[in-house]
A and B are shown apart, each in its own frame.
Chain A
Amino acid sequence: MSGCKLETKTFYQAIDNEVLIGSRCLSCGHISIPQRYICSRCHSTEAERLEFVGTGKLAAFTVIYVPATEMVKAGYDSKNPYMVGIVTLDEGPRISAQILGMDLTDPAKIKIGTPLKMKVIERGPEGQTKKFLAFEPL
């Protein structure tokens, strides 16, 4: 097992520092996000921590009008919907995140493939905000 720290929680520790991390398999080069101890392609247990550049393209998305409870607490509802997407990072793998800065009045006009860059946001009720991964148009 490689010595670098790949514990699941280090992902959010990195987000707190506005860094997007994953892992690269030292045996076959496969890149994972979130980071993995065991390579899903070749099963090697030798991996290194990888910092992503933080840019990518929109692969799939939705605009949510009936939010999850945490998002209600963050101020979203049917009149103030939010966008969530799956982003293909330039390094290859995909990650789920909130998408900011897009015009949500007609979701049919949102284009899959839109170039995006990461933006760490704070979300949650006042005094209890946490940092989350999000993306916005490049």
Chain B
Amino acid sequence: MTANKLARGVAVAGVGMSKFGVFPDKSSRDLFVEAYQELHSTVEKGLPPKDIEAFYLGNFSADQFEKQGHLAPIVASWIGLSPVASVRMEDACASGSVALRQGILAIASGQYDVVLVGGLEKMTDLPTAAVTDALASAADTMFEIPAGFTFPGFYAAMATAYMEKYQADPDAFLRVGIKNHENGALNEKAQFNQTIKDVMAGKKAKAEQKGLPVPTWESEMDFMRDPKANPMIAWPLRLFDCSPVSDGAAAVLLVSEDLVSKYTDHPIYIAGSGQASDGALAERESLSEVPSAAKAAEQAYTMAGISAADIDFAEVHDCFTIAEIMASEDLGFFPRGEGWKAAMEGKTARLGEHPINTSGGLKAKGHPVGASGVAQVVEVWKQLNSVAGARQLPGELRYALTHNVGGTGQTTVVHIFEKRS
């Protein structure tokens, strides 16, 4: 292991994101313009565009989703940044965090002082089957996809290994979905800005309107277990265990620590950064955890000089509900085999002892894949600066963690952010 400190401190000076959802009238550039404009509004001392020296854009596959390669210079041009160096980073659903990390390393190296990091995906132009196929290209298309695997299928298989190893109750997965919708209901940028109770009320009203039999769910769990309302996608995962197909963009302004006061008095600092890789799912020793996540977290904790117990809240990659439970163990918040119980007991709720995904997570906020890792930083910046509105966490917050996974863990990136008093 080489030096585990950044050679130069890096701060987040501002953030922005578009609304996440389904936007047939917008291209990916339009969405990024939205995110970039919001970012400007958070840099209270002003951001002269000519100060930005480089642009790192996380994007999984505009090639497949929009038939557009070479996306970074186009987006840079759309926001008036040409001729700065513009780079598109691709590591599947971790693309956004990979771009963030490369921006951090570029500033730490001394090459740049001010870097714009973006994350972007426009997925909904394609029919669902084509989206599924595009996402499948993040797995091993020679040896995993021919078996018949889909992405919900991979995580479902991990869920069966997890359930077998720890005798876990699959109701825990449904609890994660309910919790993330509760948080998403408090996030105006979320694709699903509604609780499961809201979803139930909506479906009842619709049935009434159409003169159909009105469903008689007694509770949220009753709804979540209803095979009609919440159909099986890949056993044991149901529709509400899966993050949606989304359009969206997010942006983060990185500035070297010594210069950040020129732009803002409300920076948050990069305390730790880690990234690890892995082979195909079948090649791993354990199928009930994500080894690259544990390794990336260890690097980030070591750099920050802290442990999991110091983290006040986390945004984790809940592409599927089981992924959030495994993450809560891989990141060290709970011992192995205890993550599902913690989810059942509400420990990861917004007001629980280990809040996870106060933004609504990928499940409720939406998962425009390349944007997700960058949007996690938007939530962290808001919470640490106490501007998260209705979903603001109580008390003094110092350390937050983001966890962004590509594939089934072929890539994981973990960052730790610090608010200094």
| Closest partner residue, chain A, to B237 (CB atom) | A62
Contact A68 to B150, CB < 8 A, known contacts A59-B161, A61-B157, A62-B157:
yes
Among A60, A66, A76: residue with most chain B CB under 10 A: A60
Residues of B within 8 A of A76 (CB): 148
The reply to whether A96 and B147 form a contact with Cβ atoms under 8 Å apart is yes
Q: Bound complex: CA of A71 vs CA of B147, how far in Å?
A: 9
Question: Given the complex, which residues of A lie within 8 Å of B236, measured CB to CB?
Answer: 62, 107-108
Distance in angstroms between the alpha carbons of A95 and B235 in the assembled complex: 19
Bound: A60/B237 CA distance, A: 14
- A66 touching B158 by the CB < 8 A rule? no
Contacts A82-B148, A86-B157, A96-B281 given: A65-B232 contact, CB under 8 Å? yes
- Complex CA gap A78/B238 in Å reads 12
Instruction: Indicate whether A19 reaches chain B with its CB closer than 8 angstroms.
Output: no
Is B205 an interface residue when CB atoms closer than 8 A count as contact? no
Other-chain residue from B129, B130, B144, B234 in contact with A63 (beta carbon distance below 8 A): B234
Question: CB < 8 Å: which of A8, A84, A98 contacts B157?
Answer: A84
Q: Which residues of A contact B143 (CB under 8 A)?
A: 11, 34, 95-96
Find out whether the CB atom of A60 lies under 8 angstroms from the CB atom of B148: no
A86 to B146, alpha carbons, bound, how many Å?
Answer: 13
Find residues 1-37 in chain A having any chain B CB closer than 8 Å to their own CB: 8, 11, 34
Contact with A along B281-300 (1 / 0, CB 8 A): 11100010000000000000
Across the A-B interface, how many residue pairs have beta carbons closer than 8 Å?
Answer: 106
Distance (whole angstroms) from the CB of B359 to the closest CB of chain A: 26
Contact A67 B160 (CB under 8 A): no
A111 shortest CB reach to chain B, Å: 9
In the bound complex, CA of A8 to CA of B152 (Å)? 26
> B132 at the A/B interface (Cβ < 8 Å)?
yes
User: What's the minimum C-beta distance from B57 to chain A, rounded to whole angstroms?
Assistant: 28
Cβ distance A8 to chain B, nearest Cβ, rounded Å: 6
Contact, CB under 8 Å: A64 / B153: yes
Whether the pair A78, B231 counts as a contact (CB closer than 8 A) is yes
Task: Give residues 122-170 of B contacting A (CB, 8 Å).
Answer: 129-130, 132-133, 136, 142-150, 152-153, 156-161, 164
Asked if residues A112 and B133 are in contact (CB atoms below 8 Å), the reply is: no
Closest to B142 in A: A8
A98 touches B147 (CB 8 A): yes
Q: Is B280 located at the chain interface by the 8 A CB criterion? A: yes
Give the residue name and chain of the A residue nearest to B154 (CB): A62
Contact with A along B210-235 (1 / 0, CB 8 A): 00000000000000000000011111
> CB within 8 A of A97: which of B147, B231, B237?
B147
A97 contacts across to B, CB distance below 8 A: 147
Q: Is there contact, CB below 8 Å, between A60 and B231?
A: no
B152 touches A66 (CB 8 A): yes
Known contacts A67-B150, A69-B132: does B287 contact A59 (CB below 8 Å)? yes
Asked whether, in the complex, the Cβ of B150 is within 8 Å of the Cβ of A112, the reply is no
Max chain A CB contacts within 10 Å: which of B146, B156, B231? B146
Answer whether residue A93 sits at the interface, using C-beta atoms and an 8 A cutoff. yes
Other-chain contact of A96, B152, B160, B282 (Cβ < 8 Å): B282
Contact of B133 with A60 in the complex, beta carbons under 8 Å: no
Minimum distance in angstroms from A40 CB to a CB of chain B: 8
CB-contact partner of A69 in B133, B156, B157, under 8 A: B133
Q: Is the CB of B283 within 8 A of A84?
A: no
Contact B150 A64 (CB under 8 A): yes
Q: A59-B287, A107-B235 are in contact. Are A69 and B129 (CB under 8 A)?
A: yes
Residue of chain B at shortest CB distance from A76: B148
- Whole-angstrom CA separation of A73 from B87 in the bound complex: 38
* Cβ-defined contact, A94 with B282, below 8 A: yes
Query: Does residue A39 face the partner (Cβ distance < 8 Å to B)?
Result: no
Question: Are A68's CB and B234's CB within 8 A?
Answer: no
Of residues B143, B153, B233, B279, which shows the largest number of chain A Cβ atoms within 10 Å of its Cβ? B153
Contact partners of B280 in chain A: CB under 8 A: 96
Kindly list chain B residues whose C-beta atoms are within 8 Å of the C-beta of A98.
147-148
Chain A residues numbered 49-63 whose CB sits less than 8 Å from any CB in chain B: 59-63
Interface residues of B in 176-235 (CB under 8 A from A): 231-235
Q: Is A133 an interface residue (CB 8 A)?
A: yes
With A and B bound together, what is the CA distance between A76 and B287 in angstroms? 26
Q: Would you mind naming 14 contact pairs between A and B with Cβ atoms under 8 Å apart?
A: A61-B157, A62-B160, A65-B232, A65-B233, A66-B233, A67-B150, A68-B145, A72-B129, A76-B148, A85-B157, A86-B157, A96-B143, A107-B235, A112-B164
A59-B287, A93-B282 given. 12 additional CB < 8 A pairs?
A40-B283, A61-B160, A62-B235, A64-B234, A66-B152, A66-B233, A68-B133, A68-B148, A69-B129, A69-B130, A78-B231, A112-B160
Residues of A within 8 A of B (CB): 8, 11, 34, 40, 59-72, 76, 78, 82, 84-86, 93-98, 107-108, 112, 132-133
By a beta-carbon cutoff of 8 Å, the part of chain B in contact with chain A is 129-130, 132-133, 136, 142-150, 152-153, 156-161, 164, 231-237, 279-283, 287
Lowest 3 CB-CB distances: which A-B pairs, in order? A62-B156, A96-B147, A107-B235
